[in-house]
């Protein structure tokens, strides 16, 4: 059966669908000896599909991983600057997996990785709006900060959906907040806090949809159960 090459590369565990577009435009993929085009379809049972001159591997067994990402790791498979990557932490999982979304270098906590492009695409698509909850340690004018953050509807002129904010702990100048957002714009929570005069000391993702980080140690990963995979598939 013919399918788009982006989907075939993703299903074979070569890369994400988005990265597959780069593979195609760079001429790294050929079909029956001819350079592949963006949007082209092919049948892996009938056509010869090569990536960097090597045959496309059979469709990979789906792998779904929850990683507790530590600080100091970039959410990529490789890094030109030589920084540590999350790929190093899941190198023993037995498959080539890629991150579903991202966490900043200085952020930590729940990060999903998979080789299932359709599942990843579902979670990342804006229409599904999978909720993500973060525990955020802040310093500064914390009195009333939760209400100010929850009332925010734009960020530097860009509209955002209101966050849910709960105070977990608070002193005169520090607080730990549980912040739940839907969109995950670039450094959204850090930018929201900065607008309220707050300095983020620690930012940790603890929940994505129905999935919770729990007590998984930092730097460790575990496989998702079938129920967890399906629960996220139907989320949103």
How far is Cα 60 from Cα 227, in angstroms, rounded to an integer? 20
Q: What tokens does 6 get?
A: 């982006």
Catalytic residue among 104, 106, 116, 118: 104
Angle of helix 117-124 relative to helix 226-233, nearest 10 degrees?
50
Q: Tens digit of pLDDT for each residue in 84-102?
A: 999 999 999 988 898 998 8
9 alpha-carbon distance from chain centroid: 19
Contact 204, 134 (CB under 8 A): yes
Residue 227's pLDDT band (cuts 50, 70, 90): very high
Contact 223, 90 (CB under 8 A): no
DSSP β-ladder status, 108-114 and 98-100: antiparallel
Q: Is 104 a known active-site residue? A: yes
Burial 163-198 (b: 16+ CB within 10 A, else e): bebeeeeeeeeebbbbbbbbebeebbbbbbbeebeb
Q: Tens digit of pLDDT for each residue in 111-165?
A: 999 988 888 888 887 777 789 999 999 999 999 999 999 999 999 888 999 999 9
Q: Which residues are CB-contacts of 186 (< 8 A; sequence separation ≥ 6)?
A: none
What is this structure's pTM? 0.79
How far is Cα 23 from Cα 27, in angstroms, rounded to an integer? 6
Domains of the chain: residue spans and CATH = 3-55 (3.10.290.10), 64-127+214-233 (3.30.70.580), 132-208 (3.30.70.1560)
């Amino acid at each position: 059966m013919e399918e788009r090459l982006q989907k075939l590369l993703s299903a074979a565990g070569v890369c994400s669908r988005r990265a597959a577009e780069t593979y195609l435009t760079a001429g790294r993929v050929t079909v029956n000896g001819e350079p592949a085009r963006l949007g082209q379809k092919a049948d892996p049972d009938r056509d010869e599909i090569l990536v960097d001159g090597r045959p496309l591997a059979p469709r990979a067994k789906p792998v779904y991983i929850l990683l507790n990402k530590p600080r100091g790791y970039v959410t990529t498979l490789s890094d030109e600057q030589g920084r540590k990557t999350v790929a190093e932490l899941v190198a023993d999982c037995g498959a080539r997996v890629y991150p579903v979304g991202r966490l900043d270098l200085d952020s930590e906590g729940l990060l999903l990785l998979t080789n299932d492009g359709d599942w990843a695409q579902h979670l990342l698509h804006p229409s599904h709006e999978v909720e993500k909850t973060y525990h955020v340690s802040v310093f500064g004018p914390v009195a009333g900060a939760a209400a100010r953050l929850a009332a925010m509807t734009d960020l530097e002129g860009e509209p955002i959906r209101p966050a849910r904010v709960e105070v977990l702990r608070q002193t005169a100048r520090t607080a730990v907040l549980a912040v739940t957002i839907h969109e995950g714009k670039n450094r959204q929570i850090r930018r929201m806090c900065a607008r309220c005069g707050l300095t983020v000391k620690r930012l940790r993702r603890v929940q994505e949809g129905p999935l919770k980080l729990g007590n998984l140690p930092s730097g460790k990963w575990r496989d998702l159960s079938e129920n967890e995979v399906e629960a996220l598939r139907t989320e949103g």
